[in-house]
Chain A
C-alpha cells in the first residue's frame, strides 16, 4: 500500500488579513503533492489547534505578517499540546526579524521562512522535514 499523503494545515492566526503569502504557499504545497487544508483568515490559536486535530494533519504552516509572531506561535503550540498534538511539525513564514527566528526555533518551531523565500524551497523543506504521523 502506498504511503498516505502528508497533510498540512496552512493557517492565518491573528487579525492581519494579508493572505497573499498563505494562499501562494497553500497552492504550491498542493501542486507539490501534499494534501493542504487552508483555514482562512482571523483564526485564534484555539481554532487552529482544533482544526489541526480534526483534520489529523502532520504539519502546520502559520503565516504571520502582523509582528505578533512571538505571541502567536507559542500560543498555537500550547493549544496543540493540550489536545495531544505536540508532535505536529510547526513551520511558518512572515516578516520575522533574525533574532526572533532564533528564539522561536528554540521554542520548537522547525522551519521559518522570510520574504524572498521561493515556493520550491518551502516545498523541498516540507518534503525533507515532515513525515506522516502514526
Chain B
C-alpha cells in the first residue's frame, strides 16, 4: 500500500529522545500519523456542504435543517418482548425503529427447525410467520415511523411480510419509509450469514431494488454496510474500500437488469462503523462520501445529485467495547458517536455499555440514547455545518483514506469485480490479516485497550445483565407449529410453488413472496426453496 513519507523538519524534541522516537504514532487501523499537518498537506476537493463531491456532508444545512435520526437497534426474545421495547424507546424520544432478528430468522430457519436449537430469541427477536411480524409492530402505525430491519439472506421474506403488515393497517406501500439491510456481499466478506452463493443472492437483491423503486419509493431496499467489515477486524481504509466496492456491485447488477441509475441510486443508503480513532473516523466518513460521489458520476453517468450523495446510518463499534470495567464503554461510545456527528451521519445507533456481556438491559439502552441527546442538545457541535472542514489534519487524512481505498477498488476491478474478488477470498483474507495484526499489537502492548491490557482492575462486581427467558424457544416453536397447522394447506403449498417457479424463471420474487406470506407460507419454507433452487453456500474456511 502506498504510504507518503514526509521529512520531519522540526527541531528535536525537548524531552528525552526515547519519548517520541521510540513510539510509533499510528491510528487504530495502524495508519502512521505525522507529527503535524500543514496547509500543503491539504489536497482533494473539499467543496461545499450539500454539493458535489459532498466531502463536507450530504446536505447544505446538515443538523441545523434536520437532526440525525436516533435509532437504537432492538430485538430479543419473543416479538411481544421486542414490541414492548420498541414502545419504550419511542416513548423516550427515539425517532425510528431498528429491528434485530434472532439467528434462525437471519439464517432462514423457522423456530421449530432443528438448526434453531438453542438460538431462538437469543440475539434478536424470532420471526417465522406473518403473525409474528403483525405482533412485532402491534400498535405502531407504520406511516408514523421509519423502520430499519437488519436482515440479509432472508430479507426478501421479511420485507414481503412488512409490506403485508402495512396492508393490514390499511397503508399503501408508497407511504412506508425505512431501510432493510439486505447487503449480501458484505455477508460473504464479513458477517457470514448466508443461504445461497453470491450470484443468486445478488439477483434477489436486484429484484428488491427493482420492486421498491416502482412500488415502495420511500423505502431503502439495501443498506450497503461497512459496519460488519470493520467489526470483522478491517482497517478504516478497508471498510471504505470494500463497502463502496459492494455498492458498485449492486449498481452494476441493477443497471445490467435494465434499471436507470438515477431511478434507484437515490434510494441506496449506507451503514458505517464508528470506532475509537476519532480523527480517522471523521476522515473516513468524508472520504467515503467523496469517493462514492465520483464513482457514481464517472462510472455510471449518474446525473441526479441524489444518486451521488452518500447518506449513511452509523453505529458505534461493538468490537471496541470491553467486558472489563464496562462503565468505561460509556466514554468510548461518546467519543465514537461524536466522531459520527462531526463526520456527518444521517442516523445513529449508540451501543450500550453492557453489550460485550449480553443483549443490553433497558437501563443501559437509556444511557446510550441519552448520550446522543447530550451531543445533540448540549455539546453545541450541531450549531454549524461541518465544523472540522478545512482542518489540515482532517483534510489530509480524508484524502489519504480516499486514495488508499481507491487503490483497493482498482485491484478489485482488476480481479473482475467484487463478486469475483469474494469468490477468491480477497477481501476476506485482507481483513483476517488486519484483525490478526491488531490482536498481536494488543498482545504486545503496542496498542492499548484500557482495562484489558492496561489499567486493569481486580475484583470487579458483575453488572446486572439481560437474560433471555429459556422458555422462549419452546413457546415460539409451538407457536410456529400451531400457525402451520391452522392455515389452508393447499393454498400455502401452491403459493410456495409460485416462489419456486419465480426462482427458476427469473420473475421478480417480491409480488410472489407477498402472496406467499399472505397465504401463510413461513420464512423457513421460502428459504428452503432458495436452498433447493439456488444452492447452499459453504464457508471456504480460509485462515
Contacts and interface: CB of A to CB of B under 8 A. Distances in A.
B117 to A, nearest CB: 6
A72 B449 CA distance: 30
Q: Which 9 A-B pairs rank lowest in CB-CB distance, beginning with the nearest? A: A17-B192, A71-B118, A40-B541, A40-B539, A68-B118, A15-B103, A67-B122, A41-B539, A116-B452
B118 A23 contact: no
B543 A114 contact: no
A119 B443 contact: yes
Given A44-B115, A66-B122, A68-B122, A27 B543 contact: yes
Contacts of A68: 117-119, 122
Contact of A116 (B104, B187, B323): B323
B358 A115 contact: no
B432 interface: yes
A84 interface: no
B406 interface: no
26 contacts: A14-B103, A14-B119, A16-B119, A17-B193, A17-B194, A18-B191, A18-B232, A20-B231, A24-B439, A39-B541, A40-B541, A41-B192, A41-B539, A41-B541, A44-B115, A66-B103, A66-B119, A66-B123, A68-B118, A68-B119, A70-B118, A72-B118, A95-B357, A97-B358, A115-B322, A118-B443
A45 B194 CA distance: 19
Contact of B103 (A16, A20, A75, A116): A16
Provide the main secondary structure of the chain A interface.
loop
Provide the main secondary structure of the chain B interface.
loop
B358 A116 contact: no
B504 interface: no
Interface of A: 14-20, 23-24, 26-28, 30, 36, 38-42, 44, 66-68, 70-72, 75, 95, 97-98, 114-116, 118-120
B453 interface: yes
Nearest to A10: B543
Contact of B541 (A15, A27, A38, A70): A38
Given A15-B115, A115-B322, A67 B123 contact: yes
A119 B468 contact: no
A97 B323 CA distance: 10
Contacts of B187: 17
Interface string B214-246: 000000000000000001110000000000000
B453 A114 contact: no
Contacts of B191: 17-18
Interface residues on B, range: 35 or more
B465 interface: yes
Interface string B424-459: 000000001001100110110000010111000000
Contacts of B106: 15
A14 B116 CA distance: 8
Contacts of B122: 66-68
Nearest to B538: A40
B115 A97 contact: no
Contacts of B94: none
B506 interface: no
Nearest to A72: B118
A97 B359 CA distance: 12
Given A14-B103, A20-B233, A72-B118, 15 more contacts: A15-B115, A15-B116, A17-B191, A18-B191, A24-B439, A26-B543, A27-B543, A42-B107, A67-B122, A71-B119, A75-B118, A97-B357, A114-B323, A116-B324, A116-B453
Nearest to B106: A15
A44 B109 CA distance: 14
A14 B118 contact: yes
B508 interface: no
Nearest to A64: B118
Contacts of A120: 443
Contacts of B453: 116, 118
B540 interface: yes
Contacts of A30: 543
B434 to A, nearest CB: 10
A15 B119 contact: yes
Nearest to B468: A67
B356 interface: yes
A8 to B, nearest CB: 13
A23 B543 contact: yes
Contacts of A42: 107, 539
B462 interface: yes
Contacts of A97: 357-358, 465
Contacts of A72: 118
B444 to A, nearest CB: 9
Interface string B303-340: 00000000000000001001110000000000000000
B118 A95 contact: no
A17 B231 CA distance: 12
Nearest to B539: A40
Contacts of B452: 116
Nearest to A65: B123
Nearest to A16: B103
A38 B453 CA distance: 27
Contacts of A44: 115
Contacts of B232: 18-20
A71 B543 CA distance: 27
Contacts of A39: 541
A20 to B, nearest CB: 5
